[in-house]
Amino acid sequence: MARKMLIDGEVSQPNAEENHYDFDLFVIGAGSGGVRAARFSANYGAKVGICELPFHPISSDVEGGIGGTCVLRGCVPKKILVYAATYGGELEDSRNFGWELNEKIDFNWKKLLHKKTEEILRLNGIYKRLLTNAGVKIFEGAGKIVGPNEVEVTQLDGTKLSYTAKHVLIATGSRAQRPDIPGQELAITSDEALSLEELPKRAVIVGGGYISVEFASIWRGMGLTVDLCFRKELPLRGFDDEMRAVVARNLEGRGINLHPRTCLTQLVKTEDGIKVTTDQGEELTADVVLLAIGRAPNTKRLNLEAVGVELDQTGAVKVDEYSRTNIPSLWAVGDVTNRMNLTPVALMEATCFAKTVFGGKPTKPDYKDVPVAVFSIPPLSVVGLSEEEAIDQANGDISVFTSTFNPMKNTISGRQEKTVMKLVVDAGTDKVIGASMCGPDAPEVIQGIAVAVKCGATKEQFDSTVGIHPSAAEEFVTMRSVTRRIAASGKPKTNL
């Protein structure tokens, strides 16, 4: 097979006496984790190659782009849309602050779409430059593993390039799943939702996780009629139950129609749109149906089983604590391993990989006290244990402190939407082991709280911290009274 670079010129031929591999590291997948691992490994002196599919806002088996899901069709463009959708409510709220607005305010979806595309193209270019400046060789094409130390890259014209590497890192991320129901091809996933040519008027969203809740908020903020269907009693399974209820209440307060304990059974194209039938006997009509029922590891085209890489039942790559597969030269980070599927976690895993393999400092990723955010409107953010997790894991009593209040802004605007904050404390050690907030700027507040929780701060230390006034964040250091105390023996279970 040909041995030439698609991008960045020719590969220099290695000195056989020094190294019989073309690369010290070859990375398949240039998303957040892959780019971080490639750059940091190169900074340690490794000779690194990386391959990625050609850029396109909507991913497929033949299209992707440097930057990956988060940058191109995930977190970043999603957050841009959240900002846009938030303005709808802000404009309404501004009237009581003295702003005289015309009754009709137009929203130009195509202008936003154009600006969003400009931004992800800019970021795509930045990621390419980051790799190039680190000395990483970039290949454009589909990569697969053909041996413990050999990868094959198929270019757009079908030409196959073969390279050897001492280590190979799999960082191909995940893909949106589709349910096996009649008419599912009429629906879209989050990829397409971020790039719709026309903004619909009616949307049905299926799923109870991050993506479904966030898009419900986005589309409702842009004026759509939104129906959100999910299997459990509350959305956001796995989060603190009390905070889930707050999110659900806020979604309904913003005008989103919730359909708990509901799954779709069929989609049918009609003259009026898409007819959606549920297992509760409901019939809904929509211009667009978004499927957000989860994501699956992107491993099908990598030839992993043929070379003996162990996968779990979901198709995820099995790895040890250092992100190594059962084959010593093959490694994996990010969503493709289905550990904790968050972009910052993929970055952490990639950093640890580079330290372990090329930095001479074996380092395990630390999944304890990872802060997360759901960018609903208003957002939810948490760090540490939920109340349910704390009760389940506790050796002693748990103290729960909560604060529910009307933000100052809402007292003027008249918006009926409470902010809720919560601290979960190990009563025996006084350590704060969990913190949650649902309200404006929650992710910005919790990022700071996460440092304290990670450092093992006690409730007494929280209480001794002077608050910033007036701010919502000061509530975290002024919650003096215990809302409830749960004895170690009392462990309520939930199936919400």
52 carries a ligand binding annotation: no
253 carries a ligand binding annotation: no
Question: What sign results for the dihedral spanned by CA atoms 470, 473, 477, 479?
Answer: positive
335 carries a ligand binding annotation: yes
329 carries a ligand binding annotation: no
214 carries a ligand binding annotation: yes
* C-beta atoms surrounding 397 within 10 Å: 16
360 carries a ligand binding annotation: no
213 carries a ligand binding annotation: yes
217 carries a ligand binding annotation: no
79 carries a ligand binding annotation: yes
3-state SS class at 466: coil
Tokens of residue 21, six digits: 């591999």
Asked whether the beta carbons of 393 and 426 are under 8 A apart, the reply is no
172 carries a ligand binding annotation: yes
Q: Give the chain's largest Cα–Cα span.
A: 77
207 carries a ligand binding annotation: yes
* C-beta atoms surrounding 419 within 10 Å: 23
Whole-number Å distance between alpha carbons of 478 and 421? 11
89 carries a ligand binding annotation: no
Letter string b/e over residues 140-164, b meaning 16 or more CB atoms within 10 A of that residue's CB: bbbbbbebbbbbbbbbeeeeebebb
294 carries a ligand binding annotation: yes
User: Which segments of 320-429 does DSSP mark as H helices, in order?
Assistant: 343-357, 387-393, 408-413
CA nearest neighbour of 36 among 169, 149, 125: 169
Catalytic residue numbers, as ranges = 469
Residues contacting residue 444 through CB under 8 Å, at least 6 positions apart: none
Could you say which DSSP state residue 364 is in? -
* C-beta atoms surrounding 45 within 10 Å: 11
Known binding residues: 79, 143, 172-174, 207-214, 294, 335
In the annotated binding site for FAD, the residues are: 79, 143, 172-174, 335
Known binding-site positions for NAD(+): 207-214, 294
